[in-house]
A = this chain, B = another copy of it.
Amino acid sequence: MKYYGYFRSSAAYRLRIAFGLKGLAPDFIPVHLTRDGGQQKAAAYRDVNPQALVPALITDDGDVLTQSPAILEWLDETHPEPPLLPADPIDRAHVRALAQVICCDIHPLQNLRVLQYLRKEYAQDQAGVEAWCRIWLGEGLSACEALVARGGTHRFCFGDTPGLADVCLVPQLFSADRFGVDLSAMPRLRAIRAECETLPAFAAAHPSRQPDTEA
């Protein structure tokens, strides 16, 4: 198994955490998102992923998988221990919903291609781009705080073992820090992150500790 990623991509960061939790160590192929005009836009990479986004995963049988949430579900179906999703359908729906607040309604709005559009078409400078990111991060993470609180108090988002929601949350909180989002009204999310950071799978997946990490 091998995967294409980039140290700072929060979608690739999700996969790294899941690989660690599952005890997997696939080969890593770096795709530099800003070098060479964006290596993800090269024809060779578009043959892997027509969306020109990271991550992508190549299975041992040569199947090409894209979209990190789909890859995470595939990982959980093919490497079921420890599970990323609970057994009960209602519990699974709550875990997936939190993951999707992040994967659908927060992360795509701060994707590099979108921020480049804001700069080029709307003449936004760094401050303008960061203000945009803070809006969607702040709204989305506030909703996450409410959804997690609704599920009761646990060590992690929805239980006492880490799962799909945590795998998506921690990388998004890393982005939130980068863009200066105020997390003071999100005590549950901060406590969950602190729990996650004690686990080797989360620590090893941090963007500061990858083969392609840059200052």
Contacts and interface: CB of A to CB of B under 8 A. Distances in A.
Interface stretch (A22-30, A96-104, A155-163): A96-104
Contacts of A117: 132, 135
15 contacts: A50-B142, A50-B143, A59-B90, A61-B90, A65-B90, A65-B93, A67-B104, A70-B97, A73-B92, A73-B93, A77-B89, A104-B107, A104-B108, A109-B114, A121-B132
A104 B104 contact: yes
A146 interface: yes
A175 interface: no
Interface in A35-76: 50-51, 53, 59, 61, 63-67, 69-71, 73-74
B101 A104 contact: no
The 5 tightest CB contacts between A and B, nearest first, are A50-B146, A70-B96, A67-B97, A74-B93, A70-B97
A195 interface: no
Q: Is the interface of A mostly helix, strand, loop or mixed?
A: helix
Contacts of A118: 122
B89 A51 contact: no
Given A66-B147, A114-B109, A71 B93 contact: yes
A66 B96 CA distance: 9
Nearest to A113: B139
> Which of A74, A108, A109 is most buried by chain B, counting CB atoms within 10 A of its CB?
A108
A13 to B, nearest CB: 16
Contacts of A96: 67, 69-70, 73
